[in-house]
Amino acid sequence: GAVVSQHPSWVICKSGTSVKIECRSLDFQATTMFWYRQFPKKSLMLMATSNEGSKATYEQGVEKDKFLINHASLTLSTLTVTSAHPEDSSFYICSAPTSGREIYNEQFFGPGTRLTVL
């Protein structure tokens, strides 16, 4: 199957700093990527849809100035958590649907990034 990577896998930062998380599709191009947030023992909550070459689409209640998304190329989307606070500590996972003629394509998930804000 297709491979999606994330970097870093785990980051610990001080409150007030910004953290950038990268999501890469390694063997396919992704015009769209999704960013999810997952709290311990909870479901995946969609934060935003990252669109290559255009602005991201944020879900209701997600602060776009807090969670900056950039999709600069067909294989890379970045999520920057600005001025991080302890309540931003979470597991962030990206996913990307594969390209191809078939429309019912699977979404492949990255391994996730665990963010801990002290």
Partner 1 sequence: GENVEQHPSTLSVQEGDSAVIKCTYSDSASNYFPWYKQELGKRPQLIIDIRSNVGEKKDQRIAVTLNKTAKHFSLHITETQPEDSAVYFCAAREGPARDDKIIFGKGTRLHILP
User: Which of 116, 83, 90, 112 lies closest to 13, judged by CA?
Assistant: 116
Candidate segments 15-23, 38-46, 62-70, 75-83, binder of partner 1 by CB under 8 A:
38-46
Cα distance from N-terminal residue to C-terminal residue, the chain: 37
Is 76 among the residues that bind partner 1 (CB under 8 A)? no
Q: What would the two tokens of residue 39 be?
A: 């709290």
CA angle 104, 74, 72 (to 5 degrees): 135
Considering only 55, 85, 106, 116, the residue that binds partner 1 (CB under 8 A) is 106
Is 43 among the residues that bind partner 1 (CB under 8 A)? yes
Give the total residue count for the chain: 118
Residue type, 43: S
Is 109 among the residues that bind partner 1 (CB under 8 A)? yes
Considering only 42, 55, 64, 85, the residue that binds partner 1 (CB under 8 A) is 42
| Binding positions for partner 1, rule: CB under 8 A | 31-32, 34, 41-46, 49, 93, 95, 97-100, 102-107, 109-112, 114
